[in-house]
Structure 1
Amino acid sequence: MYGRYGNNGNSEDSGERGDSGKGKDGLFGRENFDESPGRRKVTDYPEREGRGGMKNGQPAPSGLSPWLRVWIHPRQVTRDFLYSSNPLKNALLLALIAGIFNALNSASGRNAGDDMSAGGIAVSVVISGIVGGLATYYIVSWLLRLIGGWLGGTGSTKDMRVVSGRIYGMLGIMVGLLWIPELLIAGMENFTSLTPNLDESVGRSMLYLGLIMLELVFGVWSFIAILHATGEAHGFSAWKSLLLYVILFFAVLIVAFVLIFVVLTVFGVTLGVFGI
């Protein structure tokens, strides 16, 4: 076996059908949102006992465990968060923890163990994970609000922090928990290009491969859930959320390319001045 690499990534809502006969939920479906201009109104959420119904003129919490429900009803969980008394409860902490798990995936994908010790990997993962979590919570949330607004979304930056903090954080942490058995099985070989100890045992190798496949499946599932959550916060479909993330990806790519070009140019000029 040669290294391992994971990905971070969302799911489907239930298959209820609206008056038009089209599924409101489904893989990239719609659930009680209005794409017309303006913030969603409480009347957009039909009264359903114990499932996001109305209480004192406001959407009532569903009373369901968000850690489990977010996998199958991400819109409903997002709605509960958005209309709760404390929408950003633990959002930053969740984003930071998910960022650390994402940094583990990154360290594994680049085979950091080929050049670094276990302690060095741990320190780099914590630092890069915290930086990544902060960037996701503050910068990416702002970009999601900005680009989503171009596409007709009505979500605020605070709404996007609910998505990038609480929704992305919960999903990222739950997928990241698969790192526990992976570390127990493979140890440092999670971060190296060569895996002699795993190769010696067919059983361990198959178990490890199964965990990697499971991580991949849940990563894709969680990405779909994030699309629905973003769509709920912005008031549009998951398909439009997908377009939002595609635009975001290329925008970040272009900005990163420009920054690298500027840094290399300035650095090259500086070295030329000093005759290096």
Structure 2
Amino acid sequence: MDGRHGDNGNEGGRNGAGQKEGGLFGRDESQNRNPRSDGHGAYGQGSYRDEPNEENRYGRQPNDPYGKSPGEQHGSRREEDRARGGLSPWLRVWIHPRQVTRDFMRSSDPLRGALLLALIAGVFNALNTASTRNSGDVMSAGSLAVSVLLGGLIGGLATYYIGAWLMKLVGGWLGGVGSTRDMRIVSGRISGMLGIMVGLFWIPELLIAGMENFTYLTPNLDASMPRTLLYLLFVLLEFAFSAWSFVAILHAAGEAHRFSAWKALLMFVILGFCVFLLVFIVILVIALTFGAAFGAFGF
């Protein structure tokens, strides 16, 4: 056996008084009136970004379905951590990524822990890269661990800062309205949570196969059929959850940019092509530069 290669926006609805709740976020329009004597509305028809009179720019309205109930006004838990139906955002992000993204964007601290989540997820991604490249064939266990740690931290930083900026740029070409900060919510909190949970499959895989996760030949794993089958089960589960997490990220990016998941997929395709083209140009320039230098010295 070879080595491991391996919205829920509420459109309408009625509140308890029979009044219509309008807007993508289920805001009760009956509450959004300016108390001034002229009787004009305070918010107009724009998105929640254009609401200058809110106490917090991303604050909650009285009838917001994701806000606190009257009995929780003085609770110690933060708004974004109070999951609908009692579910943690770590679980709810798998089935309602748009709602979780919306909650984070409207919370009092949208980027809380985002960078740390991106760094940890980056380390798990580095493990996948090392496994795909069979890095254990040319590295000791210690060298591999250091390489994965450093590469993961660098990759996490690049995803959080550069990746978020690129998603904002390319998404803007497609009509997206998300800011760089919004994209950091996606690349840090959303992608980070999903990446960490998928990365937990590495725990049983390392216990079963050890260094053979990173080598082309796997004699110890091949010697036991039950171990091989159990290992393959975790690999398949990891693949399935990875695919679903990508779908969740598409919905999260779409929510931040206010467009569909299909357009978010197009954004990532364009982004991948641009990165590939940039890397190709850099490699070509380096090759031509060193080639000319070697030619000048007669090599």
Please state which band the TM-score falls in when normalised by the shorter chain: 0.7 to 0.9
Q: Please tell me whether the aligned partners of residues 10 and 24 of structure 2 are also in contact (alpha carbons under 8 angstroms).
A: no
Q: Distance in 1 between matches of 2:247 and 2:66?
A: 21
Question: For residues 196-226 of structure 1, what are the alpha-carbon distances to aligned partners after superposition, in whole Å with 9 as ceiling and x for unaligned?
Answer: 1111111000000000000000000000000
Q: Distance in 2 between matches of 1:48 and 1:190?
A: 52
Q: Distance in 1 between matches of 2:252 and 2:95?
A: 11
Q: TM-score, structure 1 length as denominator?
A: 0.84
Kindly tell me: are residues 264 and 84 of structure 1, through their superposed partners in 2, closer, same or farther at Cα, counting changes over 3 Å? same
1:41 aligns with 2:33: no
Amino acid at match of 1:164: S
RMSD: 2.6
1:183 aligns with 2:206: yes
- Secondary structure (helix, strand or coil) at the match of 1:194 reads coil
Cα drift, residue 167 of structure 1: 0.4
The structure with higher relative contact order (CA 8 Å, sep 6+) is: 1
Q: TM-score, structure 2 length as denominator?
A: 0.77
Q: Which residue of 2 aligns with 1:22?
A: none
Question: For residues 68-126 of structure 1, what are the alpha-carbon distances to aligned partners after superposition, in whole Å with 9 as ceiling and x for unaligned?
Answer: 11111101111111111111111111111101100000000010111111111111111
Q: Which residue of 1 aligns with 2:288?
A: 265
Moved more, 60-69 or 141-150: 60-69
Q: Which residue of 2 aligns with 1:197?
A: 220
Fraction of identical pairs, as percent: 62
Cα drift, residue 275 of structure 1: 2.6
Q: What are the equivalent positions in structure 2 for 1:199-214 lying under 5 Å apart?
A: 199-214=222-237
Runs (5+) with no aligned partner, structure 2: 13-22, 26-44, 52-59, 70-78
Q: Distance in 2 between matches of 1:48 and 1:71?
A: 27
Aligned residues between the structures: 250
Q: What are the equivalent positions in structure 2 for 1:59-208 lying under 5 Å apart?
A: 61=80, 63-64=82-83, 65-208=88-231
Cα drift, residue 67 of structure 1: 0.7
Runs ≥4 residues deviating over 6 A: 46-50
Kindly tell me: are residues 269 and 199 of structure 1, through their superposed partners in 2, closer, same or farther at Cα, counting changes over 3 Å? same
Q: Which residue of 2 aligns with 1:9?
A: none
Q: Distance in 1 between matches of 2:47 and 2:176?
A: 11
Q: Which residue of 1 aligns with 2:278?
A: 255
Larger radius of gyration: 2
- Secondary structure (helix, strand or coil) at the match of 2:177 reads coil
Runs (5+) with no aligned partner, structure 1: 7-12, 20-30
Amino acid at match of 1:154: V
Q: Distance in 1 between matches of 2:109 and 2:180?
A: 15
Cα drift, residue 267 of structure 1: 1.3
